[in-house]
A and B are shown apart, each in its own frame.
Chain A
């Protein structure tokens, strides 16, 4: 029995190394030759064995013979194929010929990811305009005229064609994507579930962590009977989906934004250190990510909705910041640099 298995292995090895049909023929004679083939000889001894041994060795011997035969035949087909007959060395290790590969911008990629999650939760994606006015950017959002709350928005003012323009019509580059809240509400009635990813502008000097042009994603829900508990649920579900975790710990702190009441800062527990404190969370264990809150009734008033009929919540998040976190980008200026050494990495 041992002999049969060894013979089979030996035969298959020799067949593999054979490089001409004549060698293959010699191997056939050596193992399966009618008179003195090594396997044939064993088969010829079979009738003289006991019934027990016959039962054991008979089928095995036939199996070995069949395997060797098949390998011989396959080898002959391979040797006769035209590809082999050229005889030239074919180097499969040379690199493949790639089609030219294009790249999407990291902000596009992150924005799509965020959009996908919110779309799956029934949100519609809007974009809106970037050149807006003080009305939509601030006043309709319950910012009092020339209030210090506007200071932190460092807004770019844009020339108007007309002279003696009213304050609310003064043109600005949107300082946040919240500029679309009232605009969308004006054109649609609740229930509303909307996100607005897009480009925003703040008049700040640029350095590794500051950019005057960056991307945000605004979101809001308006309906009857929307609660703070709904806000927490929705944003927690988003974070779970975005970070692909079964559970994400969040905390809500007070934050002040005139267009929400109450306003919150939503932090999530740092996933790098698990809340113990590390450079990413500035040793606090928490990462500040989503300013949010319940929409102020005056915002509904700006949109022409009846008083106290609807409630809703709004939130915002920095897409540029998400992209920096996701890819470990440490210099914010690279996003708008147009440098292909950066853009082509994504």
Chain B
């Protein structure tokens, strides 16, 4: 943030004394922003060979005449010249280099000054990432860049889902393309956030199209830190944090549960009820959840000489999640070096990143079970077995104990969340090595050649152990080991009675890329030209995976080997090589500007891919064009004093998306006894099994998706550069989106297939505004806001491809449908229309099934007096239309304070925890209890204890929220050991507050399958809750 405090300039002349003679001039040089003295500043007399440097306290003395001009140079600060004017004491304030003018952004195969852009690129700097510690830097930048929808996933070790300018594809390829120091990547989970220098987001077509067939979802350029000559630095950053659940739902207690249960029993005519006073009142969340902890330590060394610049870092991140036993640990070692020869004409750049992670994940379903399990069930029985929802129906007591003639049943079919969490035993290890070697040769002063080879290798190992016997015994406290052994003996091949199951798996994958490009950069008078042309070869998904399962290994973990599994059960092995993807590409970009006023950019990438080999389709061209006009550089604008910078931009481009899941078996064949596919048959007098085959899907030639994007924008800096801002409008159309099509019931094929069948439009605007001001030498502040609006719509769906449903609640109910004119997989369900008050009302009204008084009433939309699918309506999307971020920062002397907030709006989310009751014996939230219908006219909005479990708008709630996601207070001690050594201590509260009307744990719900819109995105089911995190830490540099 402090880099934004710019253009603060003042000069103090302390002695108004004027005569011209040779003498010594002295003074102090300070940072105009922080007021700190600057040692090592070079001071020279213009036109003479006299020079000196400031000392440790920023003081200098130099010989100069009264008419000389002094020049002050210091790395990272703007040069300054001051006339002596016969003064003998000249104190000087240097300003940090003006970021708004000279700020450089990383684009594909090069960098550009931000003021020269014709496209729309969002930038985040290291200081912003450092302020919001997270496992993945993508989480740290939530709310910092407009147009970026980042949905947090706070499970230890997981990464958020990221959408740039809306969801443009209905299938797997929704993620942006990542480029880390020129290395193509699927994600940046292996990168320590503390190693990142900047993240640049290529949002628009003209900047992204240099990545052609992979650019349709936007491109995220990550640049890691490098050393530089003259600035030797050792720094240490450490922090410790405690995590708790931000928005915990208050559940019904034992008495409320009993009342609710008995009301339901009465309504459905159940013959038994629960007794009022019961032994247990378990708060399952208390039992299940602990405070999480996060430790983060990193050490960086950087510096350089004439020959080599180096950067070396180590980072360790350890996170213990809120579920007991869940843990994630990551070690990262990075080494980035640059070797310089022949006066910097020949350079070799090397990056190497080694990441090792190990994790013990825990089942998210435990959160659901904790919501649903009754408070009457104990965590554990006195006999040491875990509590189960057994109920003695004769006495009405929740216990498994009974005497002769009494009936014991179940309250519900929910497991014991504490046991489910305890018994889940999974181990995940990952080793990832990512590196590049790049040569750069400056052939002439205007022509440069780069050749870069990069590779990424990832090894994954996982191990799952399930103690089947323990689970069997704990399913019923009356069971004995002897019973288990007897059953095991009687059923020697049954997997129900194995002691345990062990599954181990390994996978590895490799990707490499080799890129060569030429850069030509030259100015002819006022014509400035840069041309880049190159080639790229790339291959990825080179790998295989392997897993093996065995049974009855010894109980001790040290012997968990497949080889030690019992020979009495068949072990199974799965292994396959993966089909790699190859890309062969040619690219070029030309940028021209006249006098920094008129800008033109043209980019083209000619991409070849192996993905669509089956269609015989390999190559396509992805062009883009951009134009800009910097109005403030026109002569007529020079006199407008409040206008510092004004530029308008327009661009158009064509982008591709080849990340399509194509692993569909077109032909069904079954050579085993498994008859699922029904392709085999028996013939002959002995009815011999004869193999058959059938086409499962049609042969449809698929190719990449093509997105066309048009955008216009304006950038401005006003009022002495205090106010900067930008505004962008875009129209982004996926012209041939691939859908997963469920074949028509009456059509030939049985399996879902893929085809180009729709267009997907995302259009919207983004606005950024920030205000920076230094009030005086001690106080400065900055306020920034960004807002994005995006409208998502599926259009032009091919006839009969419409209507795919999704959003399964795993209880037979679905909640979403893909439909023309709606957002991707929009909510689709019945609209509630109050609550049935009496049986007479039910008899007279349109209904589904046989509702009872107290059930929700559904609106008969088509008036046919029947409630069915035709009465379901579209109710918006889980994807927000509005996203906004607010950032406030204040620096006062050595204190820094900041508050960041993030919010979304315009979406709906589904409270699946509240909605998916099956047995009627599940627990409910306290608010559900309090608001319930209890008899005629008690409520016409909330159902009674007897209710159905159909999906309806009752459970669909506003997804809008505003969250204070970071409050940081820091204090910096300067010059501790030396002039450059600082110590900053800070306290950060992450997510201290959330403002939302949502009744569940978290309005941020990634869902399964990495945010797949057809799955549980936006549905709270097995979702990790948002956490609140209090962090204390230090930053030290020497």
A and B bind: no
A-to-B contact residues, CB < 8 Å: none
B-to-A contact residues, CB < 8 Å: none
